[in-house]
Copies of this chain bind each other. A is one copy, B any other.
């Protein structure tokens, strides 16, 4: 029952970018890596998964890096976590591909589904601007 370092570090990256949104510059992973004490190579891998669908602005080369594409209030923790960790499913039996043949009448299933909803609602209620 854990969010892995992928999700945790993803949020750290995004908070770092959000705190510097007003500076309006590209921020390198090297900077984040040094300030947060996380391996550069690992951050690279994580931010690539966050950045699918151009969730961020990025630029290569010197003076390059990453920055938020829009105001921190438009970034939901839910999106950050699902982009880095995949969809939230608190048990394997919540996945559509899981087939035990008794979902509808399974009281465990309903419980896990409700818990999943509670978690998703919480994460959807939080945006980056609330965290900085």
Interface residues of chain A, those whose CB is within 8 Å of chain B, are: 1-5, 7-8, 11-12, 15, 77, 85, 88-93, 107-108, 111-112, 114-115, 118-119, 122-123, 126, 131-132
Contacts and interface: CB of A to CB of B under 8 A. Distances in A.
A8 B108 contact: yes
Q: Could you say how many copies of this chain the assembly holds?
A: 2
Contacts of A88: 1
B91 A8 contact: yes
A12 B111 CA distance: 11
**Is chain A's binding surface mostly helix, strand, loop or mixed?**
helix
Contacts of A5: 92
Contacts of A91: 2-3, 8
Contacts of A107: 15, 131-132
Q: Which of A93, A107, A119, A123 has the most CB of B within 10 A?
A: A107
